[in-house]
Structure 1
């Protein structure tokens, strides 16, 4: 079994993105019977999805788990759905890392309005809560880069009718980020790393059943 995990570079004026550190650490860990590959994505509209799709084409994973930062959330939140829109104004006060700020633009003009995750998000959340990690299923991935990535990957799978399953998980800011902004909700890195391990293992278990 092969699983691809992605994270993002820093954005929005910050020098930290906790998912960058998460994928770096998880890349050296092992899961029984699984080949794990990680990739760090750019925070640029469309390029984010293009970069991970290239990895999918070469690696041909059984599952893709994309990870991103959502400022202000207090829990780990597997996403239920991605919408076919790019709209920075509705989601964040900053542009992507190339200064792009689209408004009300479709990701794929010919694509469906929305696409649902293929990951076992309910099982993930149940297991995370059982293990003492705050988590819930989110019904909005926003309209910024994370949603763009999730929709782009799911749309690629749909158009090419491949068996890979995919979805997206948002993580809160890290405690390290809260040092820069003490009012920012945050979780410790170790808690989020434990959450990612649980998310990966839940996906493995679901694929094996």
Structure 2
């Protein structure tokens, strides 16, 4: 099974993004039943999704698992739904090119929301069984992560592609919490274990 997995560069003033570190580690992994390809995305509205869609069209995977950072969360959280809006509320950081969209649709004329087609409940159950904090999330926000998830699902919908896709948010890493001790975190090794579990679950659910 061909699986495309994406992560992001650092943003919001942080020097690292654990999902970028996960992509570097995953590139060395061998998961039975899976052929893995990783891609690192820019934290920039639209460009992030453009790049992932281009990789998707070139690689032709059966599954896309996009990964992002949700600093402040305490668990690994597969997202249930992406919404058709990009919006940065006052006080929040812009994307890495300084863009601050407010109440803008991601794609005019497309559905208000699109659901993940990954087996998110099974993924969460398997992570919990492996001792990894995990939960289904019902909001991917309105920032880059939601933008990426929505665009990928919309492209699959429009072209009726035989691809399952979705998004997973990860907490801050322990490395990040050294400078921000009040921020919940998980060790990068635990997050890599979570990604392995999710990939194995997707293969088993095929």
The reply on whether 1:64 has 2:51 as its aligned counterpart is no
Equivalenced residues, count: 206
- What is aligned with 1:202? 201
SS in structure 1 of the partner of residue 7 of structure 2: strand
- What is aligned with 1:133? 132
- What is aligned with 2:85? 85
- What is aligned with 1:186? 185
- What is aligned with 2:113? 114
CA distance in 2, matches of 1:133, 1:35: 24
Alignment check: 8 A CA contact 2:33 2:203 kept = no
Structure 1 residue 27: Cα displacement:
1.0
- What is aligned with 2:161? 162
The reply on whether 1:53 has 2:53 as its aligned counterpart is yes
Give TM-score scaled by structure 1 length: 0.97
Alignment deviations for residues 40-82 of structure 1 (CA, whole Å, 9 cap, x no partner): 0000001111000000100000000000000100000000000
- What is aligned with 1:76? 76
- What is aligned with 2:171? 172
- What is aligned with 2:27? 27
SS in structure 1 of the partner of residue 156 of structure 2: helix
- What is aligned with 2:95? 96
- What is aligned with 1:39? 39
Structure 1 residue 174: Cα displacement:
0.2
Alignment deviations for residues 10-31 of structure 1 (CA, whole Å, 9 cap, x no partner): 0001111000000110111111
Q: Which runs of 5+ in 2 are unaligned?
A: none
CA distance in 1, matches of 2:32, 2:182: 40
CA distance in 1, matches of 2:191, 2:32: 21
Structure 1 residue 134: Cα displacement:
0.5
Give TM-score scaled by structure 2 length: 0.98
Structure 1 residue 34: Cα displacement:
2.0
Ranges of 4+ aligned residues in structure 1 off by more than 6 Å:
none
